[in-house]
Amino acid sequence: MKLKNIQSIFYIIIIYAMSFTATAQKDYKLWLQYESKTDREIITKYLNTIQGIEILGSSETLKVALAELELGLENMLGKKITHPTDNEQNNLIVIGNKSSLPLTLQENLKSEFEKVSKDGFIIKTITSKGKKNIVITGKNDVAVLYGVFNFLRLIQTNKSIENLNIIDSPKIDVRILNHWDNLDGTIERGYAGFSLWNWHKLPDFIDQRYIDYARANASIGINGTVLNNVNANALILTPQYLEKVQALATAFRPYGLKVYLTARFSAPIEIGGLKTADPLNADVINWWKNKAAEIYARIPNFGGFLVKANSEGQPGPQNYNRNHVDGANMLADAVAPFGGIVMWRAFVYSEHDADDRAKQAYSEFVPYDGKFRDNVIVQVKNGAIDFQPREPFHPLFGAMPKTNTMMEFQITQEYLGFSTHLVYLPKLYQEVLESDTYRKSKGATVAKVIDGSLYNNKITGIAGVANIGNDLNWTGHPFAQANWYGFGRLAWNPYLDSEIIADEWLKSTFSNDENFVKPVKEMMLQSREAVVNYMTPLGLHHIMDTGHHYGPGPWVGNLSRPEWNPTYYHKADTKGIGFDRSKTGSNATAQYAPEVAKLFDDVTTCPEKDLLWFHHLSWDYKLKNGQSLWDGIALKYQEGVDEVASMNATWNKMTNYIDKERFKEVQMLLNIQNKEAKWWRDACLLYFQQFSGKELPKGVEKPTQSLEYFKSLKFPFAPGN
């Protein structure tokens, strides 16, 4: 080959590598792009207000806050903002916690400090003796860091920083990610690569990614992370692994991110050499006490344990004829002296219980109300089955007034198209948080249960099952980053509107151009309803293929545990379709407060979005719009497909607003989603049609394959299984 040719190949490779790096960097930077502003007028305005940064203190957290401010401001405004000289006292950003502020400032901010909670921040423009400075403060350094991120977000989203007066406190104490990461690096229900934690290289090798992870979490107020899977491995509690956990905890600490671990209930046997794990046995009690002391000696700010017990084969107190209270309280007593907590999951259902799976957690846990220790918090999934595209809120919310109750949302899209479907989950979260439990009185929303305002709880919490892996873009789909972001924002304030969150995220991640933000935001907001429509419309649920949950599998009915079969959930037969959970059926409706129970129980008042969750109805049942149930189902599936097509069309118009690489990535993923939405529609309609015996209504496209073809599809290596 001629030298010239070799050279051109070399250049092509370099250019390709450079563009790849640029994409990777953009994808990797999440919502912290700090894109440089191009509008001179805007830049001048900001620069007039910010001429220097003054830092009051020297903690690791404040150093991180300062570095963030410097990075963000320099990148966005194109000018290095340095520390002030002695005679520059105007137009500064002053960062420091309450006790570091000069007394005059403390006095000046007295009423703000009275209003702000422990982790909340104050951002205030203060004019004194003709000088104008912006003070970012709080009661501790992590609060200051949160304030800094919020301040930078104002600039990222082109908001004014004139005369600021912001006081913002988190409404929930424990804002935590749950990683279902295994020690071998795989992630249960993970669709973004392998685990971030490189256990083999820890504790000596601290990957920069650990720090970037903590920083991203701090930027949205997440303050805790459970490192390992709830289907737990006891080895994490051995000294060999605790040393590694300690290294992670140390790396995360400046960012206010506490580490928690899952506790395998049988650990005293598996790694402790005991014969039993009975929670009332003195040796077992001591073993856990010593284990807690050992962990806290290494990690003084260790958060505590998360436990999945007697659920899906995990060991628990019931193995010893004890109950959830015995198990949770024993662990709670072990961590209590160190300020730790126990998050005890209520995700329980048993193959030995013939009752409707949706009822089992409530039946089991409500009798325990008032019996758990103050440092136990019962972690409840948002719905009574399992993270479906749509579920009515879990009846346990509000039903245990004397028990700390926290929310568990799933951010990873186990049942919502993995990381190939664009589904903006804050819409789902908001729907759940706004649901009225009617406990105590009208207006007792799920948000009020979990932020503790309804029952004045001792600890409050919200968990999100993480969608993060070692993919370059962290979450597999660029838009799945919005779900991590949105979870964090709602954990901080469960009353935030998902539309506002989408707006912030788009502007911080892509662009402030309204020609981009407006249509793409609409696309995001529409995406959740789209997935409900093309997967499980009108209250259908859990009809995904078995095991991996990828794609449709409404025909699956041969699994050993009845409640693992899609046929258990849709109950389609020639008479109709749906799970009768009303009085005439399993009576799950009775687990809600009377007002809600009545609403769901009566088919005429039950919201149509939840219809087949609560009722088994004939194919000819008339929907509110006059369509028969069969036609309505078929048209909803078609609507879902059409919505994805319109998402594609919207995105295709965005080519000029963002970088080529991320544009292309999303475009390819939307094309996959388009194909898969059609797959869902065709497979489900062909299957249900066998029972309805009816033609597809006008407007629904004819399937291109047979039911047999869809049934024959197998995915032995679907990820996350």
Residue 429 beta carbon to ligand GCV: minimum distance, rounded to whole angstroms: 17
User: Which residue number, 221 or 417, has a Cβ lying nearer to ligand GCV?
Assistant: 417
- Is residue 646 part of the contact set for ligand GCV (CB under 6 A)? no
312 is catalytic: yes
CB burial class (10 A; 0-12, 13-18, 19+) of residue 208?
A: exposed
Catalytic residue (one of 70, 212, 312, 522):
312
231 binds ligand GCV (CB under 6 A): yes
Nearer to ligand GCV, 414 or 631 (CB): 414
Determine the Cα–Cα distance for residues 369 and 155; give it in Å rounded to an integer.
46
Residue position matching structure tokens 């000289």? 85
Report residue 303 as tokens.
């958060």
Asked if residues 324 and 343 have their Cβ atoms less than 8 Å apart, the reply is no
- Smallest distance, Å, CB 379 to ligand GCV? 10
**Is 546 one of the binding residues for ligand GCV (CB under 6 A)?**
no
Q: How far is the CB of 531 from ligand GCV (least distance, A)?
A: 18
- Return all residues near 46 (Cβ < 8 A) that are at least 6 apart: 37, 76, 77, 155, 161
Among 241, 252, 260, 347, binds ligand GCV (CB under 6 A): 347
To ligand GCV, the closest distance from the beta carbon of 230 in angstroms equals 5
- Minimal distance in Å, beta carbon 260 to ligand GCV? 16
Strands (E), 263-393: 304-307, 341-345, 376-381
Rank residues 150 and 314 by Cβ distance to ligand GCV and give the closer one. Answer: 314
- 379 vs 673 by CB, closer to ligand GCV: 379
Nearer to ligand GCV, 349 or 651 (CB): 349
**Is 27 an active-site residue?**
no
Q: Is the distance from CB of 544 to CB of 619 less than 8 angstroms?
A: no
CA dihedral 682, 683, 688, 689 (to 10 degrees): 50
Give the pairing of strands 304-307 and 341-345: parallel
Q: Least separation, in Å, of the C-beta of 193 and ligand GCV?
A: 17
User: End-to-end CA distance of the chain, in Å?
Assistant: 48
Decide: is 550 part of the binding site for ligand GCV (CB under 6 A): no
Rule CB under 6 A: say whether 188 interacts with ligand GCV. Answer: yes
State the nearest-atom distance from the C-beta of 687 to ligand GCV, in Å: 22
Residue 189 contacts ligand GCV per CB under 6 A: yes
Structure tokens at 166: 């912001």
* Residue listed under structure tokens 């390992």: 228
Binding mask 310-339 for ligand GCV (x = CB under 6 A): --x---------------------------
Question: Which C-beta is closer to ligand GCV: that of 150 or that of 182?
Answer: 182
Task: Enumerate residues 22-81 that contact ligand GCV by CB under 6 A.
Answer: none
Site string for ligand GCV, 137-176 (x = CB under 6 A): ----------------------------------------
> Taking Cα atoms as reference points, which of 421, 465, 418 lies closest to residue 191?
418
- Residue indicated by tokens 């050499």: 273
Q: Give the strand order in the sheet containing 52-55.
A: 52-55, 92-95, 131-138, 121-128, 165-168
Catalytic-role residue among 27, 278, 386, 563: 386
Which member of 230, 328, 463, 647 binds ligand GCV (CB under 6 A)? 230
Going by C-alpha positions, the residue among 85, 83, 91, 131 that lies closest to residue 108 is: 131
What track of x and - describes contact with ligand GCV for positions 293 through 312 (by CB under 6 A)? ---------------x---x
In this structure, are residues 510 and 518 in contact, taking their beta carbons and an 8 Å threshold? no
Q: CB within 8 A of 450, min separation 6: which ones?
A: 172, 397, 405, 406, 407, 433, 460, 461, 462, 494
Q: Under DSSP, is residue 7 helix (H, G, I), strand (E, B) or coil?
A: helix
- Between 381 and 400, how does the x/- string for binding to ligand GCV read (CB under 6 A)? -----x--------------
* CB of residue 554 to ligand GCV, shortest distance in Å: 17
> Quick check: 545 binds ligand GCV (CB under 6 A)?
no
| C-beta closer to ligand GCV: residue 544 or 700 | 544
Which of residues 306 and 683 has its CB atom nearest to ligand GCV in the complex? 306
Q: Tell which one of 46, 146, 149, 180 touches ligand GCV (CB under 6 A).
A: 180
Nearby residues of 514 by Cβ (< 8 Å), 6 or more positions away: none
Closest approach of ligand GCV to the CB of residue 182, in Å: 10
Specify the DSSP element, H or E, that contains 118: none
Query: Which is nearer to ligand GCV, 308 or 678 (by Cβ)?
Result: 308
Residues 407-466 that bind ligand GCV (CB under 6 A): 414
Whole-angstrom Cα distance, residue 113 to residue 95?
A: 15
Among 414, 431, 471, 601, the one annotated catalytic: 414
Query: What would the x/- binding string for ligand GCV be over residues 479 to 498, using CB under 6 A?
Result: --------------------
**Could you tell me the maximum CA-CA distance found in the chain, to the nearest angstrom?**
85
The rounded distance, in Å, linking the Cα atoms of 631 and 570 is 17
Closest to ligand GCV by CB, 361 vs 647, is 361
Instruction: Assess whether 70 carries a catalytic annotation.
Output: no
Type of residue numbered 367 = P
Instruction: Provide the residue type at 393 as one letter.
Output: F
Continuous H helices in 277-353: 282-298, 324-335
Residues within the interface to ligand GCV (CB under 6 A): 180, 188-189, 230-231, 308, 312, 347, 386, 414
* Catalytic sites, residue numbers: 312, 386, 414
